[in-house]
Structure 1
Amino acid sequence: MRALQFGDSMLPVGSFSFSSGLESAVQERIVHDRETLRQFVLTAAEQAATGDGVAVLETHRAARANDFGRIVVADHAVFSRKLSEEMRTMTIRMGRKLAEMAVQTLPSVPLVSDWLAAIKQGAVPGCYPIGQAIVFASLDLSEQDVFAVHQYGVASTILGAALRLMKVSHLDTQALLFEVNEAAGAAYQRVANLQLDDMSTFAPVLDILAAIHVKSKVRMFMN
């Protein structure tokens, strides 16, 4: 039930305000039907697994060991790999909101409070995947759980945006979400033994689209 609560796509952290570059992809006609949306989502999920997903696992393990220094390093590692302004804005806004909500929901967990204090002091950027890992570790949920929720969140954010941006049905988006969810276990196995230095998010078209979105004059989603 805890995993369901903190993995809910409607968690009030503001993910619905961002499209993860999909808005520009639709405007540029890179994504224009179900198949191109599928390719976009699967690419984003792979990027999430080999990038932020590695930091999620490192942070979860650090939190279990009560090693705040490792958490700080992982937080900066995530932020430094966000090439676009939009992605940096997205991860720190959602991270801070998660921290604030978790402090209210889990008042007896010092690690969450320490992380929020570090965000306010500017000691850490406060990236959302780091917050997910801290919260799940504090709830004694497994690293497989937080990795799966992280992958689910990336895909559900994009697919939720797709419903507002293009002609695609709820049935289509659920089928695509099911496909991403089905691949999460294999993705975990591929990255479970990687270190922060192994984080890789090479998907240049996604980064270019996010950069275009920042300069767009007409936007439905935030940058």
Structure 2
Amino acid sequence: MNIDEIEQELGAIQLSDSFFPTGIFATSNGLEYLFTHKKICGMSDILEMVRTNIIQQIGSSDCVAIASVYDFAEKNNFEKLIEIDNMVFSTKLIKEIRDSSVRSGIQLIKCVSEFVTNDEILNQYQKQVLGKNCHGVFPVGFAICCNALKIKKEKCMIMLMYGFTVSVVGAALRLGMIQHFEGQKIIHSIKSVISKTVKENSNKSYLEMWQFAPQMDIFQMSHEKMDSKMFIT
């Protein structure tokens, strides 16, 4: 590996680390509601929840958006990036999930802009987000930040899905649903799903974005109405 490749790897590790301040650690993606109302229990149920989200929501929508962000960033077509941002925002049907995505996306952009100051696309995007000309949804912001750090498109998609998996597993641990060894089994088991999802979506157009997980939507909406909760979503 040359110096540039090593720096790209370090950038990927930095953005993937739960230490990075995006606030994702405070989300459970509806898991807290499912646990509280005894609709889910144990490792196998959590694994199925993660798998469903990756296949039916994140892969088919967020990862497709990431692929297009990379394509249009390479062409320096900023108008299309704004269009993708608006489309991703509109696909997030649950207000709590939508707001959380925007908060995390804006926080990510602000943080990366502190140490990556010479990327034109990142600077333009931050300016438009701060000017409220676009939303700053997390998948688009994540792709722009990864691109600014010279991280490859497929790796960016892997990082997004891995981050989601870890956030759910972390929530399950804090809720006392599983033990650490079981959490690692879930992460290992989901690797094949992530790999297949990357292969299926890495070359799709943003016009092919879709998501369909109505039961998860209902659970996430129900979480928003809970009187007492540990997690934002």
**Which residue of 60, 65, 68 maps to 1:58?**
68
The answer to whether the aligner puts 1:48 opposite 2:50 as a matched pair is: no
User: What is the match of residue 32 of structure 1?
Assistant: 41
Distance 2:47 2:132 in 1: 38
Does 2:88 align with 1:74?
Answer: no
- Name the structure 1 match of 2:129: 119
2:158 to 113, 132, 148: 148
Quote the RMSD (CA, aligned, Å). 1.3
TM-score by length of 2: 0.91
Offset, 1:28: 2.4
Please say if residues 34 and 168 of structure 1, whose CA atoms lie closer than 8 Å, have aligned partners that are also in contact. Answer: yes
Q: Verify the 8 A CA contact 1:60 1:136 in the aligned structure 2.
A: no
Unaligned runs of 5+ in 1: none
Q: CA deviation at 1:193?
A: 3.0
Percent identical: 26
Q: Say whether the 8 Å CA contact 2:61–2:210 is kept in structure 1.
A: yes
Post-superposition Cα deviations, 1:84-136, rounded to whole Å, max 9, x if no partner, equal 11110110000000000011010122221211111111111101111111111
CA distance in 2 between partners of 1:167 and 1:87 (Å): 22
- TM-score, length-scaled by structure 1: 0.95
SS of equivalent to 1:51? helix
Aligned to 2:16: 7
Which of 11, 20, 26 is the matching residue for 2:29? 20
- Code of the residue aligned with 2:203 in structure 1: it is N
SS in 1 for 2:135: coil
What residue number does 1:172 align with?
182
Aligned residue for 2:41, secondary structure, equals coil
Alignment of 1:71-150 (within 5 A): 71-150=81-160
Cα deviation 1:15-60 (Å, max 9, x = unaligned): 0111111111112222111111111111112121111110011112
Residue identity matched to 1:164: R
Give me the whole-angstrom Cα distance separating, in 1, the residues matched to 2:204 and 2:121: 24
Matched residue, 2:5: none
